[in-house]
Amino acid sequence: MEPSGPGKLGSLDEDGFGVQTRRTMDLGLVPNLRRSNSSLFRSRRSPSPFGNSEKQENLSSWIPENIKKKECVYFVESAKVSDAGKVVCECGYTREQHLEEAIKPHMFQGKKWDPKKHVQEMPTDAFGDIVFTGLGQKVGKYVRVSQDTPSSVIYHLMTQHWGLDVPNLLISVTGGAKNFNMKLRLKSIFRRGLTKVAQTTGAWIITGGSHAGVMKQVGEAVRDFSLSSSHKEGDIITIGVATWGTIHNRESLIHPMGCFPAEYILDEEGQGDLTCLDNNHSHFILVDDGTHGLYGVEISLRTRLEKFISEQTKEKGGVAIKIPIVCVVLEGGPGTLNTIYNAIANSTPCVIVAGSGRVADVIAQVANLPISEITISLIQKKLSMFFPEMETFTESKIVEWTKKIQDIVRRRQLLTIFREGKDGQQDVDVAILQALLKASRNHDQFCHENWDHQLKLAVAWNRVDIALSEIFTDERQWKPSDLHPMMTAALISNKPDFVKLFLENGVRLKEFVTWDTLLYLYKNLAPSCLFYNKLQKVLTEDPECVPCTPILLSLRMHHVAQVLRELLGDFTQPLYPRPRPLRQFTKLNVQGVSLRSLYKRSSGQVMFTIDPIRDLLIWAVIQNRKELAEIIWAQSQDCIVAALACSKLLKELSKEEEDTDCSEEMLALADEYELRAIGVFTECYRKDEERAQKLLTRVSDSWGKTTCLQLALEANDMKFVSHGGVQAFLTRVWWGQLCVENGLWRVMLCMLAFPLLLTGFISFREKKLKSKNGLARVRAFFNAPVVIFHLNILSYFAFLWLFAFVLMVDFQATPSWRECVIYCWLFSLVCEETRQLFYDPDGYGLLKRASLYFSDFWNKLDVGAILLFIGGLTCRLIPATLYTGRVILSLDFIMFCLRLMHIFTVSKTLGPKIIIVKRMMKDVFFFLFLLAVWVVSFGVAKQAILIHNESRVDWIFRGVVYHSYLTIFGQIPTYIDGVNFNPDQCSPNGTDPYKPKCPEIDMTRHEPAFPQWLTVILLCLYLLFANILLLNLLIAMFNYTFQEVQEHTDQIWKFQRHDLIEEYYSRPPAPPPLILLNHLQLLIKRVVLKIPPKRHKQLKNKLEKNEEAALLSWEIYLKENYLQNQQYQLKQRPEQRIQDIDNKVDTMVALLDVDRMKRSGSMEQRLASLEEQMAQTTRALNWIVRALRDGGFGSEADVPAPAPQKATDEQDRMPDVKQRAEDGDDLYHVNARHLLYPSCPVTRFPVPDEKVPWETEFAIYDPPFYTAERKDKAGVDPMGCCLELLSKISFNEVDGLVDRRSFHGSYAVCDSFPLNPMGRTGLRGRGSLSCFGPNHALHPVVTRWWRNQDGAIYKKSFKKMLEVLVVKRSRSELWALPGGSRAPGEMLPQKLKQILQVEFWPSFENLLEKGAEVYKGYADDPRNTDNAWIETEAISIHFSDQNDMELRQLNSHLHTCDAEVSFRWQVVDRCMPLYANHKTILQKAVTLLGAYY
């Protein structure tokens, strides 16, 4: 149904011994291809079903300019008629369907219709969006293209305009074009596997696009996947390449400016001989050759397109791979066989689904047989079994099928048979990926490149299961350094499963992460990442960055550190300090060695980071990569600090993230890290409280010299701070050196009578304080924060009592001594606030310290109260403003009283209530806004209705706001309804400043003139909304706030308790005003003695290296316990246990199915063996009977007739039956029988293996004749089959300068044509060779021992290793031995002369004479024919001594004058990419030297 276009083998290169399969090269982006504006089309389609207008306009202009269709421009009447009985043209279209010019007479065009002349290209008129009417609103893309459209243009359309991502894999599905039946289980397995491999690997599926056969099966598989999958899993890209002329209802797709959308009707009943498009495909490429009703037009374009896509390179995560392609076959007929043959010829792996029918089953039946058993009779038998129309197969067709199937099976490494339930195969997706890896494994590459390529494919597909089963096996032992490039790719591509796999296989993050690697990772941040945008902003502000270069090229790690410090906070030191000038970081290319070059540096050049795990964790967290960060965090040492730092980073990033969903994910992940920190700390605290509390205050050098406790506070991690262990530590700090068991009443009593300290009334934690003198105990007691706090409370209460007494009793014109004491007291408070402002033990700087100081609400209140006091004091000292000063000081007293709320936050009873009050204050402010709307609206309306032109501002404010506000609380104005109106209570003209202006009144009757009913209604509505609605709303808000805060009050109180404890921990011990003595002491220490401030070790402790290492090791051990407990708890969850049971049941069912199949297969195998033994017994008995009869015993009539023998059914053969012959042991030449002759369109006559010998009868053998015209006509035999010219050639002897003798002796000559001594090839003539008969070639094998820098020979498997001299042409992918065909009379081949200087030619001839002959005979070359063939002589030239003078001369004279030819010394390995025949010769030379191969 979908045969690929004819592939071409080889290139015209006579000097090459083996000729590589030629790849049909497509054009690059054609010169006249007009690109669309910007990268608009790089993104996915808009969610809008029909796209936006800008895209449509771009498509409408770009597609007609670059993509053409084909139209018949000359009507030639055909003998056929249309379905409607109308006359049609030779192209298949009716007269009405032609252009107007096509039906006019053209004298110059003759009468015979010629598609090359009468079909012309025109701008396409069918493209846009397609919607299938009545089958949902799923929108696809389609375009009508000419058969000759370059693949590059189509690829550009798909990736740039249709917005398709470059695939990681290309799946070409082929098979039966008509509907066929499949077993339900096999159909289900195929659909599930195909969609799984496409979805997990990001593949494109290419089919024929019609609603029938295998294309319909693929479409239904995609449909089932879409219905069962979530939106996040994405759509499967299914591309249908169909013939335009065979599509039913294609008229609805035509519009000169494109259809957006085109409504297509899927009408299977009325399609007739045409076909409908499949509604489950996402994209359609409709191939047009100007004809109607002709199938198969799309084959050549599809083949070229698939080949072009497979040659493209996809770079992601620093790793570049060519897009792999695989062919999947279901059912199928002759066209499908051609597709498989061409795919195998082009080295494309094929997966045959056994059990699907016809061709697929024929190949599956014989795939495990030796080539010698795949005979014409066997294929004929299989065809009769699977093809009901067997009678239509001619003998020549059966021979052709046999030859093609032999060639397909011969390359078993490219063939994978998927059998349901056989060999443990359960899913098609695994079979497809295994086929690609098997093909890659057998592809000739240098060994490490082969394994690397397989691993690249597995990473690109994101299939860790395939990597585990196929790559990480005992066959290959991976070095950790070999995995580093793939580790980088997995990190950048966000593939956590592979990161985990690489870590399990020996990758150590400390060796993996270097400065260059880390910088490379940051340069490959996703552009959508918020951190990426912040880095760009920092780089644009950096004056050192070169403005002309791309921004990220100027990125350095100190730029990253700058952004991280903004997120973590200024309390941390930069994680990556600005370095001294380093070497320039070179941009990595995207070819095969892109990332590998990053790790191939000497140890002296590689610079590792301080904490590689921290660096990777930060890199993962800032991109919100949950799984990746989880794996890396599990490897971290300083895990509690790391978790808290991640929480801080995520919370800060969530504040700036515009995407709500992403912000919520960040906050959720931040909570997870906080819980991890709590979990590990809980494990530590349970094990050892003392060491756990050390973790809280340990200074972490890796995280900017901060501590766990400081990070938790900055990240607002209330759950962590409220942890019992943290609170116990804070309580310990709060009590200082006192025992926590001391009651508060004991402390208060000792504060009043401190001599009690000498009696042991108070217990201390440290034993040495018990034995020391009383002075040490007194100092320890009064330095305890709890004592300092209560002394300050007593002092503050005394200050407030004295302040109140002065304001109410002793406020004289001249300040009394009590008032002077207050001034002194306030001065001590000012000094303490100043000390807090400038106290900077962490070295933040004045600005940062001031910012931190004023960020606290209570500090703002303190400063406000002090400034207000200073203002009041200033007014109080001026006699004219004495009263004003007293008023201000009275208001200031309120502010000082409010400060008590902060003091009481330490109380476990009052503290939570104060927090609730603070939260409710916020609700009040929001409520006042709503209330103000009603108060002002009612007040203005009431004032305007009642009062006329009130000019006094104070009374306007009273009437509008004050009276309206009091109305809410029941003070209703007496004059609002006129009942209680009294003119004596108001001023008629508003002249009395102590009375309000009277409302509108009737002066004659002395009654109110305003509408009383209106004012009453307004009052009722106002009271309804204000009293009932708003006040109840306020109560509800308070209730909600109370309930919300009450749940977390304990956490909030414990969190805020730290601030109070830290404040009094760093506060001088004496209370105000005695604190002035401490301030004087500090002034002397800081200013006079220059002693810097130091933070006490109890809150920030720098440990010794040994102690810190032991503490971190202990933390890691307990972290592992925590992770194990988490894993155990996860497994104990009911849903997880149900899932585990489900998996076990599925596994058991699968094992039972496999066991059943094995048992069945074993029984079938035993029966087959029994049948074979019975057949042997029967043959032996027949021989005995014949021997006895020939000896005269018995008569002919007495001979018993043998029972008819039933042939064993090869269908019962198991795939694992041992091969009885290897593919490499073919008895006949193989390359010389390839159906496609190199570099020409000639096709050989198919010659199966059994028909190769000339002695075997082959009646239908009729090969074509081909002789190529060569440029060097002087040295070649004549063209054509003229017997007169051929009769002048003397075969089997030296004919002039040409030696026509064969190394195999005399060869036959028939009708003046020499016959190939190895048998038939399927082609007569000289082909592209120079001479009829043997064409002699020479291939020297130049080798030397492979040595290291010290001169020692490398060994492998106890054998020495060789290096061989090889050459390569730029258009070839394979290397070759230096040599080739020799010109008549010449000893050295021309190809060898190309790499040797002229003066060394004689010396090399001497080396050849001294060399050992390795091989001499026939060469199986694809250019061989029945009458011309290549014979070669291979000579081994080995240099055993590295100081050999001849070796030095050879190296000095090696050069190339042709830019397309290169040479090098290559280490000998069986996987080296060498021509097959050259590899055979090399193996013989290696065996001769006893070296490793």
Low-confidence residues of the chain: pLDDT under 50: 1-51, 107-108, 231, 423-424, 445, 582-606, 1204-1225
Q: How far apart are CA 150 and CA 550, in angstroms?
A: 33
The model's pLDDT over 1179-1236, given as tens digits with 9 standing for 90+, comes to: 788 888 877 877 777 655 555 555 544 433 333 333 333 333 344 445 688 889 998 8
Using an 8 Å Cβ cutoff, are 762 and 747 in contact?
yes
Compute the C-alpha angle 1211/1213/1219, nearest 5°: 130
Please name which of 14, 13, 21 lies closest in space to residue 1430, comparing C-alpha atoms.
Answer: 14
pLDDT at 1273: 63
Using an 8 Å Cβ cutoff, are 463 and 433 in contact?
yes
Q: How far apart are CA 831 and CA 841, in angstroms?
A: 18
**Chain length of the chain:** 1493
Give 135's contacts (C-beta < 8 A, 6+ positions apart).
266, 279
Structure token pair of residue 1427: 């009458």
Q: How far apart are CA 653 and CA 535, in angstroms?
A: 13
- Alpha carbon separation from 323 to 308, 453, 883, 1065 (Å, rounded): 10, 11, 90, 66
Q: HSE on the CB side for 47, CA within 13 Å?
A: 1
The model's pLDDT over 1478-1493, given as tens digits with 9 standing for 90+, comes to: 888 898 899 888 898 8
CB-count exposure of residue 808 (10 Å: 0-12, 13-18, 19+): exposed
Q: What is the helix (H) or strand (E) element at residue 172, kind and residue range?
A: strand 169-175
Instruction: Report CA 1214 to chain centroid distance, whole Å.
Output: 40
Supply φ then ψ for residue 1139, to 5 degrees.
-65, -40
In terms of DSSP H, where are the helices of 1329-1437?
1390-1393, 1401-1410
Give 191's contacts (C-beta < 8 A, 6+ positions apart).
217, 220, 221, 224, 225
Q: How many Å from the N-terminal Cα to the C-terminal Cα in the chain?
A: 44
pLDDT at 150: 93
Please name which of 255, 285, 256, 252 lies closest in space to residue 267, comparing C-alpha atoms.
Answer: 252
pLDDT at 25: 37
Please name which of 692, 674, 675 lies closest in space to residue 683, comparing C-alpha atoms.
Answer: 692
pTM over 0.85: no
Please name which of 677, 685, 779 lies closest in space to residue 737, comparing C-alpha atoms.
Answer: 779
Inter-axis angle of helices 660-687 and 626-633, to 10 degrees? 20
Coil/strand/helix, residue 1464? strand
Residue type, 591: Q
Q: What is the helix (H) or strand (E) element at residue 1485, kind and residue range?
A: helix 1476-1489
DSSP class of 1285 = H
